[in-house]
Amino acid sequence: MNHVFAAAPDSASMSTQQVKFFSGENVPLELHKVRVVQKLHLVPLERRLAATNESGFNTFQLGTKDVFLDMLTDSGVNAMSDNQVASMLQADDAYAGSQSFTRLQSAVEDVFGKKYLLPVHQGRAAENVLSRRFVKPGSIVPTNYHFTTTLAHIMENGGRVLEIYTDEALKLKSSHPFKGNMDIAKLEAAIATHGVASIPFVRLEASTNLIGGQPFSIANMRAVRAVTQKHNIPLVLDASLIGENAYFVKQREDEFKNSSIAQILRAMCDLADIVYFSARKVSSSRGGGICTNDKAFFDSIKDLVVLYEGFLTYGGISVREIEAMAVGLRETTDETVISQSPQFIEYLVNRLDEQGIPVVTPAGGLGCHIDAMGFLPHVAQKEYPAGALAAALYIASGVRGMERGTVSSVRDEHGNDVLADAELLRLAMPRRVFTLSQVKYVEDRLVWLHKNRDLIGGIHFVEEPAVLRFFNGRLAPNSDWPQRLAAKFRQDFGDSL
């Protein structure tokens, strides 16, 4: 193992990295310096209006030449560290037996404590393989909350997802520290109702994405583990956002306040039979993986990896990315690496909350989540308020967010929209990408938008793909509201971008 690139962070960098300001102001401080930069373009309002139309009111369809701050996702767009970039130069190109893979394997073993690793090209590839292996027609998969691609793969194999969240999870305004917890009594009841035979595994998602990046506690995971162990049901952990979950455990769960992030990561992974992850999120690179200490699981899955992903020592990932994954995974144990994004999110969430803008609280991982139904109470849910707000924010600022509401949902067997539990506009905060003045710009434009919210109307589908429609669907406004919003922008901001 190359000790320069792959060394675990030293103990000094494992302590809590909160710097107090003499002024008393709570300012998140960047504990890194910027060494490589990319120029951004804030295109004029007219171009933003045109781009909104060309993209079919779907921010996934915008080109980055028209985007100022890209807050669509944190997936594959986190900043790479110098050590990650350096590690890519020592990649060992080989179809089979690459030493790059060996380095990844040892990082997975050190950080997640799992001996057997199957590489896959990204998180949903892990979901494809796991669903093909475990899910059959009629299967039920209990989870703290589904993720879009997880649900699609489970459904693709004839299964169903059962959301077993606590009463607190869907309360957008809350002070509950662990809204990602699973309700243990409901889990027991679900097992009693559906029977062990129909439950191939129980799935826990770290920093539960669709409810606002909300963590679960280790106490809760232990309780879930006790139930699954009693019934001999495998526990699968989606670790795509495990760094953030670990950060919140350290901040919010008393038992772990003096533990290192490395210890917390191990405590979570030790409770799971299978851990899978999107490396695009967890280690700020590409790729993904499935890991376990159970040789029988490993053996029963590996043929599917060879069939769908690639040979067992690359799994559809380039060796350069494998090197960056290995270093990135080790860096996930460094609190200075994983804390900046949650701290910036907390800053933005608290500032918006203070100014009466409805946001999901407490601040979670991944991004700031705006409650679009609270923001736009006059837009009916069937007119996709979160999608409309995403388009309006882009017009007002060039900031690209992501709709996480009914557009990201599915239709039922009668062709009716399944209205989402919440209509959220997600503003992702990739790791170490933005500066605080950029975050303040987002805050400023949201405050302006909120003051002018009555000008924003609904949208409707004009082209609707059958699967994961939010990626490639096209929508249109229900009135000329985008023009009216733009006119008000001109009035208030004049020639300013």
Catalytic residue numbers, as ranges:
95, 147-148, 238, 281, 404, 470
Neighbour-count burial of 198, counting CB atoms closer than 10 A to its CB (0-12 exposed, 13-18 middle, 19+ buried): middle
Q: Tell me whether residue 73 or residue 78 sits nearer to ligand F0G (CB atom).
A: 73
Residue selected from 98, 240, 397, 406 as contacting ligand F0G according to rule CB under 6 A: 240
Residue selected from 280, 330, 369, 432 as contacting ligand F0G according to rule CB under 6 A: 280
Indicate whether 209 belongs to the interface with ligand F0G (CB under 6 A).
Answer: yes
Give the residue from 269, 286, 282 showing the smallest Cα distance to 241. 282
Q: From the CB of 287, what's the least distance to ligand F0G, in Å?
A: 8
User: For residue 259, what are the CA distances in angstroms to 3, 54, 113, 247?
Assistant: 24, 50, 17, 10
Angle between helices 385-397 and 481-493 (to 10 degrees): 30
Give the residue from 281, 447, 418, 440 showing the smallest Cα distance to 359. 447
Specify whether the CB–CB gap between 9 and 330 falls below 8 A.
yes
Q: Tell me whether residue 244 or residue 273 sits nearer to ligand F0G (CB atom).
A: 244
Q: Tell me whether residue 130 or residue 349 sits nearer to ligand F0G (CB atom).
A: 130
Residue 47, Cβ neighbours under 10 Å: how many?
Answer: 15
Q: From the CB of 410, what's the least distance to ligand F0G, in Å?
A: 17
DSSP annotation of 405: S
CA within 13 Å, CB half, 414: 3
Residue selected from 52, 55, 59, 75 as contacting ligand F0G according to rule CB under 6 A: 75
Q: Which stretch binds ligand F0G (CB under 6 A): 6-14, 40-48, 277-285, 351-359?
A: 277-285
- 3-state SS, residue 339: coil
DSSP line for 272-315: -SEEEEEHHHHTSSS-EEEEES-HHHHHHHHHHHHHHT--TTTT
Q: Which stretch binds ligand F0G (CB under 6 A): 100-108, 181-189, 237-245, 489-497?
A: 237-245
Site for ligand F0G in 387-446 (CB under 6 A): none
Q: From the CB of 80, what's the least distance to ligand F0G, in Å?
A: 16
Indicate whether 238 belongs to the interface with ligand F0G (CB under 6 A).
Answer: yes
Q: Which stretch binds ligand F0G (CB under 6 A): 274-282, 349-357, 381-389, 445-453?
A: 274-282
> 116 forms bridges with which residues in the sheet?
292
Residue selected from 70, 205, 323, 371 as contacting ligand F0G according to rule CB under 6 A: 205
Residue 285 in tokens:
């690179």
Q: Tell me whether residue 145 or residue 481 sits nearer to ligand F0G (CB atom).
A: 145
Indicate whether 163 belongs to the interface with ligand F0G (CB under 6 A).
Answer: no
Q: 150-162 as b/e, with b when 16 or more CB fall inside 10 Å?
A: bbbbbbebebebb
Residue selected from 245, 278, 313, 333 as contacting ligand F0G according to rule CB under 6 A: 278
DSSP annotation of 157: T
Q: Position of tokens 């992903």?
A: 309
Q: Tell me whether residue 277 or residue 461 sits nearer to ligand F0G (CB atom).
A: 277
Specify whether the CB–CB gap between 169 and 109 falls below 8 A.
no
Q: Which stretch binds ligand F0G (CB under 6 A): 278-286, 337-345, 354-362, 407-415?
A: 278-286
The C-alpha angle 346, 352, 355, rounded to 5 degrees, equals 140
Indicate whether 292 belongs to the interface with ligand F0G (CB under 6 A).
Answer: no
Q: Which stretch binds ligand F0G (CB under 6 A): 87-95, 116-124, 345-353, 449-457?
A: 116-124
Indicate whether 288 belongs to the interface with ligand F0G (CB under 6 A).
Answer: yes
Binding mask 20-59 for ligand F0G (x = CB under 6 A): ----------------------------------------
Q: Give the nearest residue (CB) to ligand F0G.
A: 123
Residue 461 in tokens:
């589908």
Whole-angstrom Cα Rg for the chain: 22
Q: From the CB of 473, what's the least distance to ligand F0G, in Å?
A: 16
Q: Tell me whether residue 250 or residue 280 sits nearer to ligand F0G (CB atom).
A: 280
Site for ligand F0G in 125-154 (CB under 6 A): 147, 149
Q: Tell me whether residue 119 or residue 288 sits nearer to ligand F0G (CB atom).
A: 288
User: For residue 487, what are the CA distances in angstroms to 94, 377, 446, 494?
Assistant: 58, 22, 17, 10
Residues that bind ligand F0G (CB under 6 A): 73, 75, 122-124, 147, 149, 205, 209, 238, 240-241, 278, 280-281, 288
